[in-house]
Structure 1
Amino acid sequence: MNRLVLRAAKAAAILAALAAMPAFAHVTLETKQAPVGSYYKAVFRVPHGCAGSPTLKVRVRVPEGVISIKPQPKPGWTLETIKGSYAQPYTVHGAQITSGVKEVSWSGKLLDDNYDEFVFQAYLAEPTLKPGQVLYFPVVQECEKGVERWIETASPSDKPAPSLKLLPKP
């Protein structure tokens, strides 16, 4: 009888540990905190396709206040940006800018069994962005069969948008 109790306790402990582990099925940011008024390297981790189907496109919408986007090209992938006007002008290195990249997309093929990262550099502009604020980067993952929309900002969520907590300027 004691063996049965021990086995049940071990099984319960394993299940509890698995339940407490973070979900790895989401598109996430590698670095989840950054100071305002600084450059930030956004690394979006894509751990799988859509229900077994390969990923063909990853689209990231850039939130207001995240400016001076410079996406990193990926060998074998086509890089595209959509530009538009900012809600307000920003000053970076003494120059005023009123428009820039609003969305970045990479098109290629990532098999469901593989993992990859999609990267851009950006500036986290003051005074629009404030310490303590959480920024959301909605991501749409298009696959051969299906689409995953990592766009939700409420917590908890089954389809959370990658998020970045803003810290005070150093």
Structure 2
Amino acid sequence: MKKLALSILSFSMVIAASGAYGHATLEQKEAELGSTYKGVIRIGHGCDGQPTLKVRVEIPEGVISVKPMPKAGWELETETGPYAKTYEYYGKTLSEGVKQITWTGSLKHEHYDEFIFRAKLHKTLAPDQTLYFKTTQECGTGENAWIEIPADGQNSHDLKRPAPGVHLTKPSEHSH
């Protein structure tokens, strides 16, 4: 009986692990306030067997100085706009910046890829909150919109299409 329980447990862990790749996720799920964050959006499959043709990532308020990494074979576009408030950044006052990044290309359903950007997680954001980067995968005849944000106290695993998130922590003593 013990062996059966272990087999069921390990089988369900394999299922859970493979299910995690069904979502658009961020590789680094925790970051310090005021740090430069390398956001790696992971796309694990297409839409119902179709290739992904476009990956669109919305940048939340308080994430500034966004620089997406170009991908070979993919077209890269950024959309800029005004911030809800201004941010001090290296002696400058920033009132607008990148609000959305779009990569256009082709990723087969059977393949996995990562879409990368760097950004500053401004020190005026509140610690112990999660920032969500709404991510939409567009395919030939459909899309996977990973844009659901959990309500207070709700587990993001309960959502059908959770947005990738990064949990903000207080800056460590050695940060500057």
Do they fold alike, i.e. is TM over 0.5? yes
2:171 aligns to what? 169
If you compute each CA radius of gyration, which structure gives the higher value, 1 or 2? 1
Aligned to 1:140: 136
Q: Shift in Å at residue 6 of structure 1?
A: 7.8
Question: What is the CA distance between 1:23 and its match in structure 2?
Answer: 2.4
Which residue of the partner structure matches residue 53 of structure 1?
50
Structure 1 residue 7 displacement after superposition? 8.1
1:35 aligned partner: 32
Q: Does the C-alpha gap of structure 1 residues 89 and 20 become closer, same or farther in structure 2, counting only changes over 3 Å?
A: same
* Cα pair 2:21 2:43 within 8 Å, conserved: no
Q: Which residue of 2 is the match for residue 159 of structure 1? A: 161
Root mean square deviation, CA, Å: 1.7
- Deviation larger for 152-161 or 36-45: 152-161
State the match for 1:76 in structure 2. 73
- Separation in 1 of the partners of 2:163 and 2:14? 22
Q: Count the aligned residue pairs.
A: 165
Deviating above 6 A after TM superposition, structure 1's stretches of 4 or more consecutive aligned residues are none
Distance in 2 (CA, whole Å) between partners of 1:115 and 1:19 is 18
The CA distance in 2 between the partners of 1:6 and 1:121, in whole Å, is: 48
Show structure 2 runs of 5+ residues with no match: 151-155
Q: In structure 2, the residue corresponding to 1:109 is in which secondary structure?
A: strand
Q: Percent of aligned positions with the same letter in both sequences? A: 47
Give the superposition deviation at 1:146.
1.1
**Per-residue deviation at 1:13?**
3.7
**Aligned-pair distance for 1:158?**
1.4
Q: What is the distance in 1 between the residues matched to 2:61 and 2:2?
A: 54
Where do 5+ consecutive residues of structure 1 fail to align?
Answer: none
Q: What TM-score does the superposition give when structure 1 sets the normalisation length?
A: 0.90
